[in-house]
């Protein structure tokens, strides 16, 4: 017997048992923080081109009136989950879990919202289901990372689909055996490749929506009687064998099970202060700190060296044809931070991407592997080491072990509210932003999606 024996069944048993218990007070508050962050990202993404494309597809392929796709009205459960999941990841503002390099909210919350709307399920039950699904997604992602990423898989959808299936199993009230079957079916839906990196392939934003949709489908199929392999996680041809490799060397089942039900790893999710890939945030923090401390003129910079962990070094692209390419570029975001003293959503527009001063500064940025940073990631930190040399020979250095927003370096509730307001006020106005913030803290029903959908569509009609 290996340490992974019965892993899927153990997880299914936990899902059924955990839903009978109230969330700890601290976890309930944390889930509401994640809910606020997620809803702000969904609203801010709704008017954008990717949302328009996916929303049009969903209206054609998933017509109905069961659930709400923010900015696109009512459609089927699967369609709403697909659109809202895409929007949740649409502007790179969604939270994440560093040990698993994944974003649980953009997969799990759209899935539970859509099912809850169809079935009229209360807010407290939705939050419990969401917490269970996000906890499992984080643990599965962490158990195989970075082996899964090194095999070119995007952890958010490939691990997230299991979390969506777990959460929706709670809302369906499935027993342990049927839940295990739903997880088994979800394993056949696990997908998402990193080939989008460095290209203008917006399919990255679609990945969480697809996983949310497929998690719901997995549960509905299991409830209808379709069976899936109840060894999907640990089996010799199962998820970890295919996506990570050899047990012990490439993945660790103990990360899935140790403390399950007692220690919520979900509490260690971060919130992003900048709307770009999380792997870039440590370097941005360092650049901003150096700029604020030493008050040099960006035009005086001769060179910028960024040392970081291996996966982050893959984000050194310099093509800026699209917003996504800029949001995945270390040289660009560091240059923006040094040039402007901030990195906001508007800094990824076409004007900034083409700005001559930003481009010139970006050309001075060199991204290198830092062995100590690579050894730390992902278990103990997400480090970045930045050295700036001015034309007069002055050198300034800053090392960030954990970027802003991690649990060890958190955003306060007030700062999170300010982030949300900044994202949604341009879309639904100041009153709409206040309503969204209040609805997240006082969440009692997924009907808030109808309110937000109406506000977004009124805004779009005026443009």
Three-state DSSP string of the chain: CCCCCCHHHHHHHHHHHHCCCCCCHHHHHHHHHHHHHHHHHHHHHCCCHHHHHHHHHHHHHCCCCCEEECCCEEECHHHHHHHHHHHHCCCCCCCEEHHHCECCHHHHHHHHHHHHHHHCCCHHHHHHHHHHHHHHHHHHHHHHCCHHHHCCECHHHHHHHHHHHHHHHHHHCCCHHHHHHHHHHHHCCCCCEHHHCCCCCCHHHHHHHHHHHHHHHHHHHHHHCCCCCCCCCCCCCCHHHHHCCCECCCECCHHHHCCCCCCCHHHHCECCCCCCCHHHHHHHHHHHHHHHHHCCCHHHEEEEEEEECHHHHCCCCCCCCCHHHHHCCHHHHHHHHHHHCCCCHHHHCHHHHCCHHHHHHHCCEEEEECHHHHHHCCCCCCCEEEEEEECCCCEEEEEECCCCCCCCCCCCHHHHHHHHHHHHHHHHHHHHHHHHHHHHHCCCCCCHHHHHHHHHHHHHHCC
Burial of 263 from C-beta contacts in 10 A (0-12 / 13-18 / 19+): exposed
Pair 386, 290: CB distance under 8 Å: yes
Determine how many CB atoms are found less than 10 A away from the CB of residue 17: 12
* pLDDT, position 1: 37
Residues 342-398 have pLDDT tens digits of: 999 999 999 999 999 999 999 999 999 999 999 999 988 899 999 999 999 999 999
What whole-number distance in Å separates Cα of residue 192 and Cα of residue 196? Answer: 10
Residue ranges of the chain with per-residue pLDDT less than 50: 1
What whole-number distance in Å separates Cα of residue 102 and Cα of residue 137? Answer: 8
What whole-number distance in Å separates Cα of residue 387 and Cα of residue 307? Answer: 9
What whole-number distance in Å separates Cα of residue 185 and Cα of residue 192? Answer: 16
* pLDDT, position 461: 87
Which residue from 107, 110, 170, 115 is spatially nearest to 140, judged by alpha carbons? Answer: 107
**Could you identify the residue written with the tokens 């997995």?**
218
pTM of the model: 0.94
Pair 148, 244: CB distance under 8 Å: yes
Domains by residue range for the chain, with CATH: 7-268 (1.10.4100.10), 278-400 (3.30.1330.120)
State whether the Cα torsion 18-21-24-25 is positive or negative: positive
150 token code pair = 């090194």
* pLDDT, position 138: 98
Q: Interhelix angle for 176-187 vs 203-224, to 10°? A: 140
């Amino acid at each position: 017997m290996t340490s992974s024996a019965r892993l899927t069944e153990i997880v299914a048993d936990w899902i059924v048992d955990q839903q009978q218990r109230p969330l700890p007070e601290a976890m309930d508050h944390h889930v509401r923080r994640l809910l606020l962050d997620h809803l702000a990202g969904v609203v801010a993404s709704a008017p954008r081109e990717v949302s328009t494309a996916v929303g049009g597809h969903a209206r054609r392929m998933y017509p109905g009136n069961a659930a709400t796709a923010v900015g696109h009205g009512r459609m089927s459960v699967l369609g709403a989950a697909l659109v809202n999941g895409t929007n949740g990841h649409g502007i790179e503002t969604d939270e994440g879990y560093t040990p698993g390099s994944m974003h649980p909210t953009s997969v799990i919350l759209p899935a539970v919202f859509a099912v809850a709307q169809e079935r009229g399920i209360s807010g407290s039950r939705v939050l419990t289901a969401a917490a269970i699904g996000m906890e499992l997604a984080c643990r599965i992602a962490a158990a195989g990372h970075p082996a899964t990423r090194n095999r070119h898989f995007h952890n958010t959808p490939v691990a997230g689909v299991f979390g969506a299936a777990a959460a929706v199993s709670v809302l369906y009230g499935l027993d342990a055996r049927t839940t295990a079957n739903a997880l088994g079916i979800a394993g056949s839906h696990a997908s998402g490749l990193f080939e989008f990196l460095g290209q203008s392939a917006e399919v990255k934003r679609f990945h969480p929506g697809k996983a949310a949709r497929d998690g719901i489908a997995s549960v509905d199929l299991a409830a209808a009687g379709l069976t899936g392999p109840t060894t999907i996680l640990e089996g010799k041809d199962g998820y970890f064998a295919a996506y990570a490799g050899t047990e012990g060397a490439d993945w660790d089942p103990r990360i899935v099970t140790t403390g399950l039900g007692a220690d919520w790893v979900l509490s260690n999710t971060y919130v992003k202060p900048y709307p770009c890939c999380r792997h870039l945030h440590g370097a941005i923090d360092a650049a901003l700190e150096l700029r604020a401390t030493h008050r040099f003129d960006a035009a005086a910079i001769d060179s910028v060296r960024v040392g970081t962990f291996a996966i982050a070094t893959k984000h050194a692209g310099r093509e800026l044809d699209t917003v996504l390419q800029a949001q995945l570029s270390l040289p660009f975001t560091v240059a923006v931070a040094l040039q402007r003293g901030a990195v906001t959503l508007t800094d990824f527009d076409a004007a900034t991407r083409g700005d001559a001063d930003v481009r010139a500064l970006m050309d001075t940025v060199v991204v290198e592997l830092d062995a100590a940073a690579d050894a730390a990631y992902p278990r103990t930190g997400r480090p970045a080491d930045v050295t700036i040399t001015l034309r007069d020979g002055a050198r300034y250095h800053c090392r960030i072990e954990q970027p802003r927003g991690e649990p060890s370096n958190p955003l306060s509730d007030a700062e999170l509210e300010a982030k949300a307001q900044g994202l949604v006020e341009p879309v639904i106005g100041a009153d709409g932003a206040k309503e969204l913030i209040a609805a997240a803290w006082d969440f009692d029903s997924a009907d808030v999606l109808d309110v937000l959908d109406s506000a977004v569509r009124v805004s779009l009609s005026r443009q």
